[in-house]
Amino acid sequence: MGGIGTPRLEVKYQRPTRGACAQSEFLSGTVEVDKQMISFLKRCGRFVSEFKGFGICHSCGRRSCFRFRKNMEKWLTDLSFLWDCSERLKNDLRLRENYFCVRCNSSVRVRMHAKAVLDYLHLASDHELLAKFKNEANFKIYEAAKHQLFKSPTFKHISSYVTSEYYDQASPGDYVDGVRHEDLERLTFPNDSFDVVITSDVLEHVADLKKVVAETLRVLKPSGVHIFTIPVDKDLPHSRERAIRLENGEIQNLREEIIHGDPNRSRGALAFRDFGMDVAEYFQKLGVHLKTISLPNIHGDSHSNVDVYLYQKTC
Ligand SMILES: [Zn+2]
């Protein structure tokens, strides 16, 4: 941590000599305590104060411990300070985007999302999911993110676990630095391709959600499911659009612009809508029946549940 120009901390101490004259004579010396050591000790102290418990991580499948990162909490507080959504939503976000696994760095939202997928498939762990891929040649998952839910490197070698990211300027189906680019509004996969489609806090950022739902239904096999997370403001009675895309492609803001953090673009991602308590009715109008899976935050001291949603292709 200590770089060029950083002062080194000097601690002076006096050590008593051995022998008959020890009571009156002292040797003085200087010990330099490396700033890196202090930084290390501070990090240890911070880890202890942020430590929240042990458990099995559903994302990496390993025994781990989980920590509530105060710097992440502060970052989210600063980011959402001016948002015109409820304080309850802001607090929910601070809780669900935290409690990080020290092994794979997954947040509790990501882990509970992974658990919801495993539960739906009646699997106990990601190891059983890997076995399912090996034993069932036709079983396929599409995740609209680069291995966000399941962190084991083995998943990267499974061709029937398809992942993608959204890159500005790329064409659907193209690869950017080895990662497939897909636009959820116009997926390049054939009809009836996947048993499960996964999106993680994405649907609030797509301009045409009706088109996205239609596309996920198209690429899902009959009885396939789309399992996803979205932020839902439980103090907002009715979902509302924040922005729309005009026919000429321009974006028109209907409310104050809200930008969420996005690891793929420094300018973040625009939120096109706020989901409220009528989220089931909202999706009903898009032609799907929404189910909510509410999972407790078992890896932290928060009593806030993490909600995961799903709808099924029924024909
Ligand atoms: Zn983990």
> pLDDT tens digits, residue range 249-302?
999 999 988 888 777 777 778 899 999 999 999 999 999 999 999 998 877 777
Would you say 260 and 254 are in contact if contact means Cβ atoms under 8 Å apart? no
pLDDT at residue 30 in the model: 53
Report domain extents, the chain. Answer: 109-312
pLDDT at residue 296 in the model: 87
| Ligand 1: centre distance to CA 275 (Å) | 28
**Which span out of 23-27, 42-46, 249-253, 287-291 was modeled with the highest average pLDDT?**
287-291
**Count of Cβ atoms closer than 10 Å to residue 256 Cβ:** 9
pLDDT at residue 168 in the model: 83
Strands 240-241, 243-245: pairing is unpaired
Would you say 191 and 217 are in contact if contact means Cβ atoms under 8 Å apart? no
Please state the rounded mean pLDDT for residues 214-219: 98
The percent of residues above 90 in pLDDT, for the chain, comes to 66
Burial 49-76 (b: 16+ CB within 10 A, else e): ebebeeebbbbbbeebbbbbbeebbeeb
Strands 63-67, 51-56: pairing is antiparallel
pLDDT at residue 260 in the model: 83
| Ligand 1: centre distance to CA 106 (Å) | 6
| Ligand 1: centre distance to CA 72 (Å) | 17
| Ligand 1: centre distance to CA 242 (Å) | 34
How many angstroms separate the CA atoms of 81 and 42, rounded? 28
Indicate if the pLDDT at residue 18 is higher than 60: no
How many angstroms separate the CA atoms of 253 and 290, rounded? 27
| Ligand 1: centre distance to CA 298 (Å) | 14
Backbone torsions φ then ψ of 115, nearest 5 degrees: -65, -40
pLDDT at residue 303 in the model: 73
Ion ligand 1, residue ranges at CB < 5 A: 57, 59-60, 64, 101, 103-104
What confidence category does residue 31 fall into, taking pLDDT thresholds of 50, 70 and 90?
low
| Ligand 1: centre distance to CA 69 (Å) | 15
Indicate if the pLDDT at residue 6 is higher than 50: no
Q: What is the pLDDT of residues 194-213, one digit of tens each?
A: 999 999 999 999 999 999 99
| Ligand 1: centre distance to CA 98 (Å) | 13
Name the CATH architecture for the domain at 109-312: 3-Layer(aba) Sandwich (3.40)
How many angstroms separate the CA atoms of 290 and 54, rounded? 33
pLDDT at residue 32 in the model: 60
Indicate if the pLDDT at residue 4 is higher than 50: no
